[in-house]
Chain A
Amino acid sequence: MSAPVAVYEKVTRERFIDQIAKAGRPAILRGLVADWPAVEAARNGEAALIAYLKGCDNGVPAEIMVGEAAIRGEFFYNADMSATNFTRETANLSATFDRILAQRTQAQPQAVYVQSVSVREHLPKFAAENRIDFIPQDIEPRIWAGNPLRVQTHYDLSNNIAVCVAGRRRFTLFPPEQLVNLYVGPFDFTLAGPPVSMVSLEAPDFARFPRFAEALAVAGVAELEPGDGLYIPYGWWHHVRTLEAFNVLVNYWWNEARAGLGSPYDALLLAILGIRDMPPAQREMWKVMFDYYVFGSHGDPVAHLPAARQGVLGPLTPALDQKMRRQLIQALVRMTGGRP
């Protein structure tokens, strides 16, 4: 049903850049952080790890996600999609670590999740003592901790290296082009940022979502033990399941996209307003424009022009950025009837 994810051992900076990132596919980085003090602590049991984490906690409260027992650890929408099936709380992290582990003995365990919390802002000693030498210092580590949970299939607009510190974690990965088979939910009312697949990974309703079978056929599964890392390329969809009573992960997101000039989502939104609802024949003409200029489907669209006249498609300069921004703003001003 699924494809294995490539496994690399003894990953160095060169190996990561030259082989793994270039391949553009997920990769297990076996034992990448096996020597971290936090992983060492985890090997001595949950109590030892929690003691270590508490020793790193500066007491700054963080936002956590909490779901009642009925959701069985599966963060999602409620039945009619009018709300999420979990709530957010602001909590002390040390107390939350205890609360996560305590669910193990509860008859009606809650789902408790520390999601994407800045390690530097909340556990500065952890950030100082647990590093990956080939990840640049300006890339911020984030921590994820919880009991047995399931995070619905989603994507991130970043490259990602995720390392398992404690517990076990199963990632199910889908290439970006599987979008059509994932039955994506709303963009403007999401669980935690990006949209999610509406299909349950573990109990898919193939009557409602028949194409999901095609996605499953090409999905990759990666199971991480403490000390293992996983590389998830930009835009790859992933479902995450934690498998032990106490699971901790740290991840690093980075992005090769140029900042400035608005976000991909703004472009998507403007295209909803201006292009999506055109009559199909007219929309097809804009697809020709997007394929040619924006997505480069026929090669470099300005190869026949001198560099100084390649505009936003040519070499980037601050002056060009300014000009592009002005052009965009003028177009938007016209669009809104001349009143910015």
Chain B
Amino acid sequence: MVHPVRVYEQVTKAQFEAEILPSNRPAVLRGLVADWPVVKLAQTSPEALCGYLKQHDTGKPAQALVLEAAHRGKFYYTPDFSGLNFRKVDTTLSAALDWLLAHTDHSPRDGQCDAHVLQALIAPDYCPPFAAEHQTGLLDPRLGARFWIGNAAHTQTHYDIMDNIACNVSGTRTFTLFPPEQLPNLYTGPFDLTPNGTPISLPDVAAPDLETYPRFAAALAAAEQAVLQPGDALYIPYFWWHDVRAEGPFNMLVNYWWRPGRPDLAPPYPAFYMALGAFAHMTPDMRASWKTMFDHFIFRVNGEPFAHLPEARRGIFGPMPPERMPHLHAFIFNALGMRKRP
């Protein structure tokens, strides 16, 4: 019922840059990393893959997310939303791998054991030789890889403000993706308490409660799904919401994040939070005035808002050269009643 994500085979860097990236749509890159050493090891056995990782483990501390068996692998909130349903446990890569290997006969999905996951470990910190032996051929080779390792865990629909290539190494992983404009149909959770940094969508993709979340049916109708086998990769564009389910007894994914477009710009969240604080509780008429301002000056729905002024006279709405940024930072901190340290 959910549309499949389009599939590319034997994708080249030229094709990725000319065709896939500018489209702003997800794409399965079938077999992109099928020849990776870790993929070959995974196809031998989880033990073989873990042997490689443990051999190179630097011993750097890591944090595992641990979810009790009763939750059947679904990382989420407590029923009253007063907290999260999982805990963070200090461990190491090798210790976590040993725990997972000892539990491959059980699945959290069936409520037989806890879900254990390591998320977004920075590869060079935990496995220094990894980058030399594993490249996608599509990205800047200096871009750091991250490891996602665990048993059959389910990460609820969320977004990242990054472009993403996710390479599946071990196990089967199902991604369900929603375009950014589906936001009103996703019934998003709190900003101030999130499982993993960004808000999540509350309905369950596999068993949605459409009585509580009726508009989610429209989101599902616009969703796309991809099932990755070892060696497959997925391109997830900036801001596409995604639900991730790992299916195997031992799952590993390697991903690469990068800021697309204008990484030199200031991050967007301060503007978003400031706007929430400044506008969310205004009267509807006042808020409508500010929506007009943002649509015109920031989102440029009417084109360049200062075409009628010479560039030199557009002030802060003119081009923003990097050397002006520190001055503006000081301005912003002053506005918040904070002094910039000398």
Q: Give chain A's interface residues, CB within 8 Å of chain B.
A: 24, 81, 155, 176-177, 179-180, 183-189, 198, 208-209, 233-235, 256-258, 260-264, 266-298, 301-302, 304-306, 308-313, 316, 323-325, 327-329, 331-332, 334-336, 339-340
Contact = CB atoms under 8 A, between A and B. Distances in A.
Contacts, number: 256
B332 A295 contact: no
B291 A295 contact: yes
B272 A298 contact: no
B313 A311 contact: no
A334 B191 CA distance: 18
Given A263-B335, A278-B262, A336-B329, A271 B287 contact: no
A269 B287 contact: no
B278 A198 contact: no
Interface in B257-299: 260-262, 265-299
Contact of B277 (A189, A287, A292, A312): A312
Contact of B289 (A186, A234, A256, A260): A234
Interface stretch (B48-56, B145-153, B180-188): B180-188
Contacts of B188: 301
A295 B24 CA distance: 25
Given A278-B262, A296-B280, A267 B317 contact: no
A155 B296 CA distance: 15
Contacts of B239: 282, 285
Interface residues of B, number: 82
A187 B320 CA distance: 14
Contact of A295 (B80, B273, B279, B333): B279
Contact of A269 (B202, B272, B331): B331
Interface in B313-327: 313-317, 320, 325
B248 interface: no
B189 interface: yes
Interface string B179-207: 01101100111111100000000100000
Contacts of A289: 183, 272
B159 to A, nearest CB: 9
Given A266-B274, A269-B331, A183 B183 contact: no
A276 B184 CA distance: 22
B275 A271 contact: yes
Contacts of B329: 332, 335-336
A269 B262 CA distance: 17
Centre residue among A234, A267, A275, A323 by max chain B CB count within 10 A: A267
B142 interface: no
B338 interface: yes
B213 interface: yes
A272 B298 contact: yes
B338 A329 contact: yes
Contact of A275 (B202, B212, B268, B282): B268
A187 B315 contact: yes
B302 A180 contact: yes
A302 B192 CA distance: 12
A273 to B, nearest CB: 4
Nearest to A334: B267
Interface string B36-48: 0000000000000
A272 B320 contact: yes
A327 B273 contact: yes
Contacts of A261: 274, 277-278
